[in-house]
Structure 1
Amino acid sequence: MTENAAVEVQKASRVYGAGSSAVRALDEVSLTIRRGEFFTLLGPSGCGKTTLLRLIAGFETPTTGQILIDGKDVSQTPPNQRRVNTVFQSYALFPHLTVSQNIGFGLEMLGRPRAQIKDAVARMLALVKMEKMADRRPQMLSGGQQQRVALARALAPEPEVLLLDEPLSALDLKLRKEMQLELKRLQTETGITFVFVTHDQEEALTMSDRIGVMSAGNLLQVGAPREIYNRPVNRFVADFIGETNFLTATIRNGIPRLSNGEAVQAKGPARLDGKTVTLAVRPEQVRIDPEGPIHATIAQTVYFGTDTHCHLRLADGTELVARLQSPPSGDIGLKAGEKVRIGFVPGAVQMLEG
């Protein structure tokens, strides 16, 4: 058991079917989720993130490997015997029950005393700021309000771990942004370990203490949002998290050079000398600089209000984007066809694997 671990996944695999038709949804994933943290599983559809969540919840059993919660192997333990609750995409509120009754339902099923249920419901109503709507039924609530009730119902039994399977996907953009902050507030106030599943990078970056990026049943990188964004371990992570420019270069005497010989400052292993590598740099880390080492041509500029995206074309035809802050006039003074030189923020260019 790892110290301070709420959830440990040890070489867990999940295979559906057999023989040539077998599908490996999860491939020997190992992961430790710390007690009291907001952890997000992030990746595209079909990457295995929901399968992993279902293994933790107990809705699926691992084909191989183990799932530990609070240091105990629960791989074969049914969901109702784990101190884990799940919030799904559909809130699944009982339409014939009031908000208070929905929140207290799970506690009733656990046989808690009436006084204890009443106190817990009152605390949950206050936590999700729904006191004035205690007697309303779900059909009288907005999507965001129903989401709060579903969260309160899941939190009421005080689980060790709360699992959230893309619970914000049905909300409109404005409400989704509000609920991102609300979820983080709830997690901080309760101190419960949250494991959140999403394909939305903004949700992951906004709320998480740490993020696990998944692809094709594998866990590619685990780290804090800033680490994942600024130091991706491979091209998939760099491409999936935020916008990224990719350059192809060849290492010569330890220095990456573009096809026309222009040098780019990015450190890599000496053993790569003579090899072709991929370099990644974020648009906000590209600078229009008269003294810059790279020659480029302005392809077009696109105004986004606070930012202007400057689309550039290098001598070898590679295209990249510089995200520049718009001046008060809104005109950055660059026109299509103009020749410029560019540079990069020191230390911003990453040499990637894969």
Structure 2
Amino acid sequence: MGETFAVEARDAVKVYGTGVNAITALDHVSVTVSRGEFFTLLGPSGCGKTTLLRCIAGFETPTSGAILLSGQDITEEPPYRRPVNTVFQSYALFPHLTVARNIGFGLEMMGKPKAEIAETVARMLALVRLEEFAARLPQQLSGGQQQRVALARALAPKPQVLLLDEPLSALDLKLRKEMQGELKRLQLETGITFVFVTHDQEEALTMSDRIGVMRAGKLQQVGTPRDIYDRPANRYVADFIGETNFLTGVVEGGAVRLGSGDLVRAALGGQTGTVTLAVRPEQIRVVATNAPGAIPARITGKVYFGTDTHYHFALVDGTEVVARLQSRAQGEDDLPKGVEVGLQFEDSSVQVLGP
């Protein structure tokens, strides 16, 4: 017998409005999430990721298709009858209740015994490392602490699935990075299935077991972070996940002739005619212009990022290329603007994306 998935969307369609005013938010989306998995829906605003999350939560009903939890069709079930909890972008804590009361509120509504509530609240406070804040009110906490309370409140009833709708977007950069680690730790310690929605590629890459990249209501690719990054299914995915250089050329034998006239070898998979190649900036090496296989280029600019420096180049036909090189120690020679160099990269680092 096959695996029973924690979450499954089967050919889900969601259309708002009718006739010429109809907007398709989900366009025949099918996806599965395994038990205990940290699964991320990634894409820009309006791509359908939050609509899918809301269909899983029960806040929206698909126009057609089905939503299943642990193999049970719950498409028409109201939210309160689904074993899921949702953490939103706004934490929605009760301002007049203490941290402990906020965490235990859902359990109180379920009619749990006081002793069980107290035990669960204590365990949740320890899980999110807020034991000393139990008696404080939400306004006495930082944004990161409020987020932890919201997570603890959602985890307290032991949902089968926790849905997270861009919960870190309101935090500053440093705190957001800290909370990324906290979220992954919580997911691993509880073993609960997480379905996380974000437009932030770094969040998706650093936390997820698998990622589903969405665009205009459709799933473009589902895979592990490494699959998505190293083997993007199309140009949209390659461009959305990380920085990418796109080089256009024509297939010539077992290689691609670029507009600059240079030949690049790649696994063409039988493709012919015009193709687009993708090469990540960190895969590019800067070498002498006379090095074997070097592509001539001129440095047009550079941006210092601390640990690395992004160098911008122009090929002989004007095509722009970016390389990410480890920053040199202070006082060492740097590559000045205007210098002619050669660019190299391994054949295996080149992804062929079609026209």
TM-score (norm 2): 0.97
Shift of the 289–217 alpha-carbon distance from structure 1 to 2, 3 Å rule, reads: same
Query: Deviation per CA, 1:111-160, whole angstroms, max 9, x where unpaired?
Result: 11111111111111111111111111111111111101100000000000
Distance (Å, rounded) in 1 between the aligned partners of 2:98 and 2:314 = 60
The answer to whether the 8 A contact 1:39-1:211 is kept is yes
Q: AA paired with 2:305?
A: F
User: 1:58 aligned to 2:86?
Assistant: no
Q: Which SS does the other structure have where 2:265 is aligned?
A: coil
% identity of equivalent residues: 68
Partner SS, residue 132 of structure 1: helix
Match of 2:116 in 1: 116
Instruction: Verify the 8 A CA contact 1:297 1:338 in the aligned structure 2.
Output: yes
Residues 6, 70 of structure 1: 8 Å contact kept: yes
1:27-66 equivalences in 2 (<5 Å)? 27-66=27-66
- Contact (CA 8 Å) 1:164, 1:196: kept in 2 or not? yes
Q: Quick check: 1:299 aligned with 2:306? A: no
303-312 vs 139-148, which deviates more? 303-312
State how far apart, in whole Å, the 1-side matches of 2:215 and 2:333 are: 39
2:262 aligned counterpart, secondary structure: coil
Matches within 5 A, 1:238-249: 238-249=238-249
Question: Any conservation in 2 of the 1:15–1:24 contact (CA below 8 Å)?
Answer: yes
Structure 2 letter corresponding to 1:283: P
1:285 aligns with 2:283: yes
2:145 matches 1:145: yes
Alignment-mate amino acid for residue 336 of structure 1: K
Instruction: Find the aligned partners of 1:302 and 1:30 in 2 and give their Cα distance.
Output: 41
Distance 1:3 1:267 in 2: 34
Secondary structure of residue in 1 paired with 2:149 = helix
CA shift for structure 1 position 243: 0.6
Contact 2:277-2:350 at 8 Å conserved across structures: yes
Can you give the 5+ residue segments of structure 2 that lack an aligned partner in the other structure? Answer: none
Quick one: distance in 2 between partners of 1:190 and 1:323? 38
- Structure 1 residue 10 and structure 2 residue 33: aligned? no
One-letter amino acid of the counterpart of residue 346, structure 2: V
Q: How far apart are 1:302 and its partner, in Å?
A: 2.5
The offset of 1:289, in angstroms, is 2.0
Cα pair 2:161 2:192 within 8 Å, conserved? yes
Query: Is the contact between residue 301 and residue 308 of structure 1 (CA under 8 Å) also seen in structure 2?
Result: yes
Contact 1:127 1:186 in 2 (8 A): yes
Confirm or deny: 8 A CA contact 2:260 2:315 kept in the other structure.
Answer: no
C-alpha distance in structure 1 between counterparts of 2:108 and 2:331, whole Å: 60
Matched residue, 2:196: 196
1:171 and 1:40 map into 2 onto residues whose CA distance is 19
Matched AA of 1:92: A
Stretches of structure 1 that go unaligned for 5 or more consecutive residues are none
Q: CA deviation at 1:29?
A: 0.2
Aligned counterparts of 2:137 and 2:94: Cα–Cα separation in 1 = 8
What do residues 198-251 of structure 1 show as CA deviations (whole Å, max 9, x unaligned)? 000111111111111000000001111111111111010011111111100100
Distance 1:29-1:330 versus aligned 2 partners, 3 A rule: farther
CA contact (8 A) 2:254 2:268 kept: yes
In the alignment, the residues of structure 2 paired with residue 53 and residue 331 of structure 1 have an alpha-carbon distance, to the nearest angstrom, of 51
Residue of structure 1 equivalent to 2:352: 351
Give the conservation status (yes or no) of the 8 Å contact 2:254–2:265: no
Q: Distance in 2 between matches of 1:17 and 1:205?
A: 35
SS of the residue corresponding to residue 264 of structure 1 reads strand
Contact 1:280 1:352 in 2 (8 A): yes
Q: Is the 8 A contact 2:67 2:73 kept in 1?
A: yes
Shift of 1:330: 5.9
Partner of 2:106: 106
Q: Distance in 2 between matches of 1:154 and 1:304?
A: 38
Residues of 1 paired with 2:87 and 2:247: CA distance? 41
- Counterpart Cα distance in 2 of 1:346 and 1:107: 57
* 1:147 aligned partner, one-letter code: Q
Cα distance in 2 for partners of 1:145, 1:75 equals 34
**Structure 1 residue 331 displacement after superposition:** 4.7
CA distance in 1, matches of 2:264, 2:306: 30
Shift of 1:332: 4.8
- Specify whether residues 334 and 153 from structure 1 end up closer, same or farther in structure 2 by C-alpha distance, changes over 3 A only: same
Could you tell me which residue of structure 2 aligns to residue 73 of structure 1?
73
Letter in 2 for 1:38: F
Residue identity in the other structure for 2:62: P
Q: Where in structure 1 do 4 or more consecutive aligned residues deviate above 6 Å?
A: none
Residue identity matched to 1:349: V
Amino acid at match of 1:325: Q
